[in-house]
Amino acid sequence: MAEITDTPEVPEPGRSSDDKKPRRGGKRGKKGPFARLALFYRQIVAELRKVVWPTRRQLLTYTFVVIIFVLIVIGLVFVIDYGFGEVVSFVFG
């Protein structure tokens, strides 16, 4: 019977099999902490430029909708809490 052996490890393209150095984070691994921080802030600014900001009218509409919704939920929780309080007072005394 033929003996099955492990296949040899195939190196990544562009690297020899003798090269055992661990890979760093690509371009990020070669920069210092201040360069990475500057890159981070540039990326933040780039993402913020992609944001579609609401108009003043939309912002006011969304704000009023949220306030009304919160007031409705507060009222609902108050009614349920009051009801449970009355039930507990009736059952326990």
Instruction: Give the closest residue to 54 by CA, choosing from 44, 45, 65, 46.
Output: 65
Quickly state the pLDDT bin for 18 (edges 50, 70, 90).
Answer: low
Per-residue DSSP letters for 61-85? HHHHHHHHHHHHHHHHHHHHHHHHH
pLDDT digits over 33-81, tens only?
899 999 999 999 999 999 999 999 999 999 999 999 999 999 999 999 9
**pTM (predicted TM-score):** 0.50
Q: Token match 């890159």: residue?
A: 39
Res 30: pLDDT:
73
**Rounded distance between C-alpha atoms, residue 37 and residue 42, angstroms:** 9
For the record, the structure tokens of 62 come out as 């969304």
Domain boundaries, the chain: 54-93
